[in-house]
Structure 1
Amino acid sequence: MSDQPSAVAPPTGVEPDLAHHGDAEATAGLIDLAVNVRRARPPAWLADPIAATLTDLARYPDPAPARAAVAARHRRHPNEVLLTAGAAEGFVLIAQALRGVHRPVVVHPQFTEPEAALRAAGHPVERVLLDAADGFRLDPSRVPADADLVMIGNPTNPTSVLHPAQTVAALARPGRVLVVDEAFADTTIVPGHPGEPESLAERRDLPGLLVVRSLTKTWGLAGLRIGYLIGATELLSRLAAVQPLWAVSTPALAAASACASAVAVQAERAIAAELAADREHLVARLAELPGVRVVGRPASAFVLLHLPGATPIRAALRERGWAVRRGDTFPGLGPDWLRVAVRDRNTTDAFIDVLRETMEA
């Protein structure tokens, strides 16, 4: 790896709004293609355990059973799992606990909360910007060799690119904490692969690895706030030391246990296969529109589009009842980018018709 700093300092001009998220776009009354949360009702094996906790809320939460269940799912020891109030809390804990790092680097474009959390904790963040012309492919040599904290998403939000596990693993090294945001790992699938392709969650041989996971996307639990971190016991202990007491509620713990079950994992694989078919349909329909370009090879629950004049088109779509995610709040993108969530084929077909009419107008 080269020790020449390819990370770039934040520009001195207008900075992307790191605090902007898709929920700000998906206002009431609009068809939501801006948020990547699956909208289906939770199945009984998930909803019933959550509901059962509502009669016992006087008791303080006990994370031990849920931690053991999540650990077993990923073939880890319970001490290698830290449950959090959503993946976003994990980024805050990392930023607060690792104040001793001297060169944190965030690989962009990606979810903005990791950098926002670092900046809020006073860290001077550097960026490595992946190139759209290269399909947002990760080149580990572009990360400075002396970076002692590196953060990357896989699959990456908003690009939907799934990096090879061995490429991401090449970023790990002694003296560095490597944070891999796998919030959408359960949305990915490769035919013939029995599990989650390219996930590092079961890897115990990589120094400094921290995997961030979320249960809010596939199972529609964004309002419940449940996620977890996976890593070495010593590293997780540092993060646990700055976590508030009883940070994860009893209903959220019940959801974590249920989502770690064999039934849940099997259901996830089926949902990922259905999502892949719906995603292929969306990409094929987008290819019919002149001027619309899907960049990279999408592998998750959303697709990133390059569309000149995207800002007025997005506004016009809102007037016609459709919400899509603006791209200019992600470092490395700009006003000509949009992120669109994958939905069922009927919804996609209706959206393509409206998008075509909007572009023509």
Structure 2
Amino acid sequence: MRTDSTHGEGHDLRHHGDAEVRDDGARLTDLAVNVRADTPPAWLRERIAGSLAGLAAYPDGRQARAAVAARHEVPVARVLLTAGAAEAFVLLARALTIRHAVVVHPQFTEPEAALRDAGHVVDRVLLREEDGFRLDPAAVPEDADLVIVGNPTNPTSVLHPAATIAGLARPGRTLVVDEAFLDAVPGEREALAGRTDVPGLVVLRSLTKTWGLAGLRIGYVLAAPETITALERAQPLWPVSTPALAAAVACLEPRALAEAAHAAHRVGTDRAHLVAGLREFAPDGLRVVEPAEGPFVLVRLPKAAAVRRHLRDLGFAVRRGDTFPGLGEEWLRLAVRDRATVNSFLQALDQAVTLAQH
């Protein structure tokens, strides 16, 4: 584990999984994007459609904000709704006074990109493969007044203990935890959302992953009221649309929470099936980062760039890993899909690996 004070060279921080699917217009089976592959469930589509009758009025986020507060048992003053969790990174970069920003990598690159766009110099703490990409709080510089870490981390699928992350808190430090994929973890183990006893804690959540709402953009921030106020001042007026607000309320109702909990167990079963299949490629040099806890897995294999190209020819899109600081061209991220899709993918992977070796 080491700190890297580079300025972003060598990594395309704005590259996201959707680019893998739309690059050439090919009809590809998507294992590149970490979002529910099918459309939102019918009941959710109906709720969103029903909100369209209110489009003449300006969005009113009070009900959705109250729903988030109730979900995490915190005061409404500790909640800010955002146009997807990604907007929160921009708000943090613009609203906070930051002297020394640190981002723990490999992780989602948008936080660092937002900080750099706002003129901040960013130090990186690079987690190592030989440590299982696990976090050692001692590796984070003591003078860092902004620390950003994902849990479970994208792309490594590592779930860090809540106590380890909370151990990063310091007086005068803002500790940002990206929990965009935490609802895909059964029981939301190691969650910090709703904690009010950790000084400087800011937790980001997304409703786009589990519910397949990436095109609608809805997420939220949980933080101390003074931090919420600062972020809100940096936010445009009416940042979250009426349909997105309706979706937020619907996704936080008891029926939806129960459905999300069931989906988390299903993801775990499907992920175990994917990982078991990937282990069969060990003689070819493929290694899976384990234990994986998110709705995706990270793999390292020889000639990964060539394998990825052959997979595209065979109809499958996967996420390249070299755009994540701390990873190189030999890494790929694979989204967890249903068993039938995984079986078809594993057959294609067998062909792609063979082609890449010749």
Q: 2:16 aligns with which of 5, 21, 41?
A: 21
* One-letter code aligned to 2:274: L
| Secondary structure of the corresponding residue to residue 41 of structure 1 | coil
Q: Specify which structure has the higher proportion of helix.
A: 2
> Residues 64-143 of structure 1 correspond to what in structure 2 (within 5 A)?
64-98=62-96, 100-143=97-140
Secondary structure at the aligned position of 2:234 is classed as coil
Structure 2 regions of 5+ residues with no counterpart?
Answer: none
Aligned counterpart for 2:324 among listed residues 327, 330, 334: 330
1:357 Cα deviation after fit: 1.3
Which of 144, 168, 173 does residue 170 from structure 2 map onto? 173
Alignment of 1:278-317 (within 5 A): 278-289=270-281, 290=283, 291-317=285-311
1:56 to 51, 54, 57: 54
Residue 254 of structure 2 corresponds to 262
Structure 2: which amino acid aligns with 1:30? Answer: L
TM-score, length-normalised on structure 2?
A: 0.96
- Residue 70 to residue 157, structure 1, CA distance change in 2 (3 Å): same
- Residue 346 of structure 1 aligns with which residue? 340
* Count of residues paired in the alignment: 350
Check the 8 A contact 1:136/1:296 in 2, yes or no. no
Identity among equivalent pairs (%): 61
CA-to-partner distance for each residue in 1:138-177, whole Å, 9 max, x for gaps?
1001000110000000000000100011001101111000
Does the 8 Å CA contact 1:107/1:151 hold for their aligned counterparts? yes
Give how far 1:182 is off.
Answer: 0.3
Check conservation: 1:155, 1:184, Cα contact below 8 A: yes
TM-score (norm 1): 0.95
> Distance in 2 between the 1:166 and 1:46 partners?
35
Unaligned 5+ runs, structure 1: 190-194
SS, match of residue 299 in structure 1: coil
Give yes or no for contact 1:174–1:207 (8 Å, CA) kept in 2: yes
Give the distance between the partners of 2:91 and 2:211, measured in 1 at CA. Answer: 24
Deviation at 1:6, TM superposition (A): 4.6
221, 244, 250: which one aligns with 2:242? 250
- 1:321 equivalent among 315, 325, 338: 315
Query: In structure 2, which of residues 45, 48, 51 is the aligned counterpart of residue 47 of structure 1?
Result: 45
Shift in Å, 1:42: 2.3
Asked whether the equivalents of residues 38 and 217 of structure 1 are also in contact (C-alpha less than 8 Å), the reply is: yes
| Structure 1 residue 48 displacement after superposition | 2.0
Correspondence 1:206 to 2:202:
no
Q: CA RMSD in A?
A: 1.2
The one-letter code matched in structure 1 to 2:6 is: P
* Alpha-carbon offset, residue 7 of structure 1: 2.0
